[in-house]
Every structure is written in structure tokens, then in C-alpha cells.
Amino acid sequence: MTNNKNTAAMLLAAGLGTRLRPYTDEWPKCLMPIKNIPLLEYWIQILSDVGIEDITINMHHHAEIVQEFLNRPQFNQSIKTSYEATLLGTAATLRENASSFEDKTCLLVHADNLCCCDFMGFIDYHHYMRPSDTVMTMMTFESSTPSTCGIVELDNEGVVRGYHEKVVDPPSNLANAAVYLIEPEVIDWILVNIDAMDFSNEVIPKFIGRIATWKNTGVHRDIGSSTMLRAAQHDNCESIHFNNKDEWQTKFMSNPIHEQLKEIMHG
């Protein structure tokens, strides 16, 4: 098992959630309930379970609500936040917080996805089994809607040789899960190339041939639409255990978002 003291996580949680309006008009997308647990709490618990303690979360939309969630005593104030008055873009967010990843492996996560898998297996693959000339491991999954995803083409070693971001007729359904383990060389490239703003469209193409992949055969779901948020309520994530019986959770259970979610469930 990897000692993850030298891994720092960046959870991207600042999105507007436009496809989930009107539900995101009053509540942030990253805190949408999945079986009564906020989505972001799934990620924090996953990282806790694998021993990653160095966590930075970017915020923008409803930042004050997200900050109140993160102020809960169970998080022991160990999570750093990075407020973006204007959304920076995924690569620019890494650049803005690069000091947090100096000489470390960076775990970059789009935290608007629900992910339940052998996460330690993902980390161990990156550190011990990926091809030696790769500088990044991308989590992949089989998508039922490949035209809405970044689709990868792999060689016999599972290294990315082709990448197609949201194209009409993708070559397969093996998709980028937007969860990455990244070595310092990639962060250094982002620091030098200050015009790069988006990770998927501007960083990944520069490292084709040096990106390993690990397939998530468990749950991976973008909850960005009401259809997907409804489906997520039935996903099996029972391997994740929560310690959430506190004042914030009690207050959360009476939040109007739960009544609105019932509308989604019957939509």
C-alpha cells in the first residue's frame, strides 16, 4: 500500500451547475445530496480512507455555503480552500495553487462526479505499475453517452495514444473520468505555459503518449443533469462509510433541496 503523505489533492468544486438549474440557483452543485449525503463529502471520505490529508478545494458558486459545510468539526480544519471570484479554468486553478503540489503527486478531481471504486488500487497502479515513461494516470470508465465525454484510444500498455473531447462519433466508449494522478513535470509545464486554462483541452493533448490509464469498473457518474442525479440515488457506494451525525447534517436534512430532489426523482 502506498504511503500517501506525499500526495496532495485538488478537488474542483466551483462549477455553476447550469444543467441542474433551477436546483443550483440556491444550492451548490458540489453539495447535491446522494442518498442524503452531499457529493463533496463522498470525495472527502474517499481521500480520508486512502490516507490523503493534504486537500485543497476551489470554490466560486455559493462559496459561503460550501465554506460552512467545510467548517464542520469532523474535518478538523485540515482542508484548504481557494476562492475564485471569477472561474479560472481547470489548468489555471492548478497554476494558482501550484505551491500546494510542490515535489508531490497531485490528485486532480472534478468533484461533480460520483466515484465509488477501488481508489487505493488506482493510487497503487500509478506509483507501482504504470509504464515508467508516463507522468500521469487518468482514471477511465465505460460511458453510456460517449459523445458527451473525452474518449481515449490506448496502446497495448494502456497508454493514451489518441484523445477525442466530446466528438459526435467517438471511436469507443472508454471515457476520461476526470480523475488524475499527476507528477510534478506536468505542474511545471502548466506553470511555464501561462496561456493554458483548461486541463482537458490544453494540457492532456501535450502529454499524449505519456498518460497511463486505470479503468474504474465500479461507479462513475457525472451528476450534472437531473437525469444523472436521479440515477445516482440508486448507485451502490456502500463501501464508503460516513461520520456525519453532527449539527450541520441535521440542518442539511431540513434543507429545501431534499424536497426539490423528490421532484427530480419523479421527473
CB 126 within 8 A of CB 155: no
Q: What single-letter DSSP state applies at residue 219?
A: E
pLDDT confidence of residue 97: 95
pLDDT confidence of residue 76: 66
- In three-state secondary structure terms, 257 is helix
pLDDT confidence of residue 31: 94
Structural domain boundaries of the chain? 4-145+177-265
Burial class (CB in 10 A: 0-12, 13-18, 19+), 120: middle
pTM strictly above 0.85: yes
Q: How would you write the pLDDT of the chain (267 residues) with one tens digit per residue?
A: 566 778 999 999 998 778 888 888 889 999 999 998 999 999 999 999 999 989 999 999 889 999 999 998 888 667 999 998 988 999 999 999 999 998 999 999 999 899 999 999 999 999 999 999 999 999 999 988 887 888 999 999 999 999 998 888 888 889 999 999 999 999 999 999 999 999 999 999 999 999 999 999 999 988 888 888 888 888 888 877 777 778 889 898 989 888 888 777 665
pLDDT confidence of residue 44: 94
CATH tag for 4-145+177-265 (out of 3.90.1150.10, 3.90.550.10, 3.40.50.300, 3.10.20.740) = 3.90.550.10
Q: How far apart are CA 19 and CA 223, in angstroms?
A: 10
Q: Of 241, 257, 149, nearest to 204 (Cα)?
A: 149
DSSP states along 159-207: -EEEEEES-SS-S-SEEEEEEEEE-HHHHHHHHH-TT---IIIIIGGGG
